């Protein structure tokens, strides 16, 4: 943040509380605000902050929202769908049609954000105060101390208070008083913020920090922060491994039925994922056109659509192609590969060769900030939960329902199952449809994090087979362990060797593993296999 601004901000935050509002702003300052030069803009922002009026706050907010316009003769802003003169603050009707937005760059935006945060530190709404305090975390100077102290005295919210305390400590880092600096360094020991760590690092340099005791304390504080950051970074790695694992699991679960249980080498499995993903796109379109108000919930509606669309495609495949090839795995491989090409081309004809846009609903955007250095994105969390529920659902179907019983019976001993009255061919169709439907759910999940396009399935087919084969054919538990293991191993290796090398290492490990243990992690027990 700019130095002049910091000084002024500090002064003003105090004045703000007792400020008597002036209606009009200084025309010269407003003119300066739309100057092309960033230095001029920043000076003008500082001058506006100094007035402390709601008009100034509104003007700055408009600049931040790209809602400030200027021509040679006039400057105006848009707020709440109305247009106001930037200097006098009076409403303009009709709105000028010549729109030339005042542009800002990152440097100005940073200053502006801090200025707006300064205004909001005294907002009656605690969540606005929290956001304001958080956005100030980057860099606070000693001149902010009085304002922060004032804000801290008035602060009652338990979430905002610790952040303000930290900000105060950060501000005190550059306090000319050695004792205050020492206290600040010690106060920051409990911080988890990478920013705080960065600031402490500057205290290690004798050029910045003349006092040896403070340097020592800073070193200790950094060591303490580092040990906690190391822990969080390990946690972050495990989380991203889990999330990759859950994606692999979703991609592979359907295959665990069609290949694992039924023994069909389904090369079109990736395209069943694609069907699920395109279903999500389709439902999103329907919601956009017909229920724009409920747009955020399109994903929930897409769950059954994805399942049944993919299940339908799967059952058609089974009835028309796979049915005639049971027991001839190589021919199934070729035939399903052909089907996959047909499906890819079909998607290309229907939706175009380009990727389509599937957006995260707003409740899946952003993330929870567990610690300042650890943000867990919502889309990943939701997908982990989703994978878990699909897994439970599938386990329940296979173990607790009549259909599951029949599927297991048919795969174990087809003639005997037929003899006792199980409609084997219908069970085959339903089982294949179930596997395909679950692949569709996987595709739905993938649409939230990856690209949706006709070729998307190709990227997952190898991974899916890896998971199923590594886990042990026919084993649900095996697929779970293999997916999570692969996910975590990949992420740990990526952190250390980079994405390209990590992929190679993982494949090499799998080859060696399969050679040593061809039956996979979990061998099938009993006389199940033919």
Nearer to other proteins, 172 or 332 (CB): 172
Instruction: Please give the radius of gyration of the chain, using alpha carbons only, rounded to the nearest integer.
Output: 31
Give the shortest CB-239-to-other proteins separation in angstroms. Answer: 8
Q: By rule CB under 8 A, what string of x and - marks binding of each residue 123-162 to other proteins?
A: ---------------x------------------------
Nearer to other proteins, 352 or 518 (CB): 352
DSSP line for 197-242:
HHHHHHTTSTTT---HHHHHHHHHHHHHHHHHHHHHHHHHHHHHHH
233 near other proteins, judged by CB under 8 A: yes
Which of 303, 225, 255, 184 minimizes the C-alpha distance to 431?
Answer: 255
197 near other proteins, judged by CB under 8 A: yes
Q: Distance between CA 520 and CA 452 in Å, rounded? A: 31
Give the shortest CB-198-to-other proteins separation in angstroms. Answer: 4
Nearer to other proteins, 246 or 266 (CB): 246
Q: Which of 61, 88, 195, 412 binds other proteins (CB under 8 A)?
A: 195
499 near other proteins, judged by CB under 8 A: yes
Q: Which of 109, 159, 400, 517 binds other proteins (CB under 8 A)?
A: 109
Q: Give percent helix, percent strand, percent coil of the chain, each to the nearest 5.
A: 70, 5, 25
Q: Distance between CA 252 and CA 478 in Å, rounded? A: 11
237 near other proteins, judged by CB under 8 A: yes
340 near other proteins, judged by CB under 8 A: no
Which of 130, 193, 139 minimizes the C-alpha distance to 164?
Answer: 130
- Residues 6 or more apart whose CB falls under 8 angstroms from that of 466 comprise 482, 486, 510
Give the shortest CB-446-to-other proteins separation in angstroms. Answer: 9
Piece of 97-105, 157-165, 265-273, 515-523 that binds other proteins (CB under 8 A)? 97-105
Piece of 3-11, 144-152, 242-250, 316-324 that binds other proteins (CB under 8 A)? 242-250
Site for other proteins in 16-75 (CB under 8 A): 38, 66
Give the shortest CB-450-to-other proteins separation in angstroms. Answer: 4
113 near other proteins, judged by CB under 8 A: yes
Q: By rule CB under 8 A, what string of x and - marks binding of each residue 250-269 to other proteins?
A: --------------------
Give residue 81's region: left, alpha or beta (phi > 0; psi -120 to 50): left
Q: Which of 21, 342, 353, 511 binds other proteins (CB under 8 A)?
A: 353
**Eight-state DSSP code of residue 84:** E
Piece of 116-124, 195-203, 402-410, 432-440 that binds other proteins (CB under 8 A)? 195-203
Contact 358, 445 (CB under 8 A): no
Contact 118, 147 (CB under 8 A): yes
Q: Which of 53, 170, 189, 243 binds other proteins (CB under 8 A)?
A: 243
Q: Which of 92, 495, 513, 524 binds other proteins (CB under 8 A)?
A: 495
Piece of 76-84, 141-149, 189-197, 209-217 that binds other proteins (CB under 8 A)? 189-197
The H-assigned helical ranges of 75-141 are: 106-120, 126-135
**Eight-state DSSP code of residue 36:** S
Nearer to other proteins, 202 or 389 (CB): 202
DSSP line for 398-449:
HHHSHHHHHHHHHHH-HHHHHHTT--HHHHHHHHHHHHHHHHHHHHHHHTTT
Sign of CA dihedral 236, 240, 243, 249: negative
Q: Distance between CA 391 and CA 386 in Å, rounded? A: 9
CA 316 vs CA 181, 311, 389, 414, 423: distances in Å:
73, 9, 26, 22, 18
What number of residues does the chain have? 530
Nearer to other proteins, 9 or 335 (CB): 9
Q: Distance between CA 103 and CA 42 in Å, rounded? A: 13
Nearer to other proteins, 175 or 360 (CB): 360
236 near other proteins, judged by CB under 8 A: yes
CA 100 vs CA 34, 67, 488: distances in Å:
11, 10, 50
Residues at the interface with other proteins (CB under 8 A):
38, 66, 101, 103-107, 109-110, 113, 138, 194-195, 197-202, 229, 233, 236-237, 240, 243-244, 247, 348, 351-357, 359-360, 365-367, 369, 373, 375, 377-380, 449-451, 453-455, 459, 491, 494-495, 498-500, 503
């Amino acid at each position: 943040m700019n130095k002049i601004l910091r000084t002024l901000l500090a002064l003003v935050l105090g004045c703000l509380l007792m400020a008597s509002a002036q209606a009009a702003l200084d025309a010269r300052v407003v003119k300066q605000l739309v100057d092309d030069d960033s230095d001029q803009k920043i000076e003008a922002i500082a001058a506006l902050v100094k007035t402390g009026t709601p008009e100034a706050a509104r003007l700055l907010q408009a600049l931040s929202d790209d809602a400030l316009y200027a021509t040679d003769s006039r400057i105006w802003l848009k707020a709440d769908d109305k247009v106001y003169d930037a200097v006098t603050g009076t409403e303009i009707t009709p709105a000028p049609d010549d729109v030339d937005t005042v542009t800002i760059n990152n440097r100005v935006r940073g200053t502006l954000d801090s200025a707006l945060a300064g205004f909001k530190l005294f907002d009656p709404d605690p969540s606005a105060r929290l956001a304001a305090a958080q956005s100030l975390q980057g860099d606070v100077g000693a001149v902010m101390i009085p304002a922060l102290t004032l804000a801290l005295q008035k602060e009652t919210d338990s979430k905002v208070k610790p952040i303000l305390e930290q900000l105060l400590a950060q501000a005190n880092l550059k306090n000319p008083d050695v004792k205050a600096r020492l206290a600040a360094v010690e106060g920051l020991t409990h911080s988890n913020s990478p920013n705080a760590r960065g600031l402490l690092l500057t205290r290690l340099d004798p050029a910045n920090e003349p006092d040896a005791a403070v340097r020592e304390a800073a070193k200790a504080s950094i060591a303490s922060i580092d040990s906690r950051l190391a822990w969080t970074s390990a946690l972050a790695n495990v989380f991203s491994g889990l999330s990759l694992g859950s994606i692999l699991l979703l991609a592979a679960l359907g295959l665990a039925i069609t290949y694992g249980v039924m023994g069909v080498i389904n090369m079109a499995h990736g395209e069943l994922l694609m069907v699920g993903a395109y279903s999500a796109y389709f439902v999103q379109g329907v919601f956009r056109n017909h229920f724009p108000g409920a747009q955020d919930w399109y994903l929930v509606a897409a769950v059954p659509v994805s399942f049944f669309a993919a299940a339908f495609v799967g059952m058609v495949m089974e009835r028309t192609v796979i049915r005639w090839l049971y027991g001839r795995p190589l021919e199934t491989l070729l035939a399903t590969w052909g089907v996959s090409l047909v499906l890819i081309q079909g998607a290309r004809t229907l939706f175009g060769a380009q990727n389509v846009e599937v957006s995260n609903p707003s409740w899946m955007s952003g993330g929870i900030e567990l610690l300042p250095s650890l943000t867990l994105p919502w889309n990943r969390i939701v997908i982990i939960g989703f994978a878990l529920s699909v897994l439970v659902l599938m386990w329940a179907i296979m173990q607790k329902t009549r259909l599951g019983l029949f599927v297991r019976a048919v795969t174990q001993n087809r003639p005997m199952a037929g003899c006792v009255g199980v409609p084997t061919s219908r069970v085959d169709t339903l089982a294949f449809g179930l596997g395909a439907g679950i692949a569709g759910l996987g595709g739905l999940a993938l649409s939230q994090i990856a690209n949706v396009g006709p070729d998307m399935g190709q990227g997952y087919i190898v991974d899916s087979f890896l998971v199923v084969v590594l886990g042990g054919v026919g084993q649900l538990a095996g697929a779970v362990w293999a997916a999570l293991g692969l996910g975590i191993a990949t992420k740990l290796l990526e952190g250390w060797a980079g994405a390209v090398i990590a992929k190679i290492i993982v494949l090499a490990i799998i080859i060696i593993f399969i050679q040593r243990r061809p039956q996979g992690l979990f061998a099938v027990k009993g006389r199940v296999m033919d």
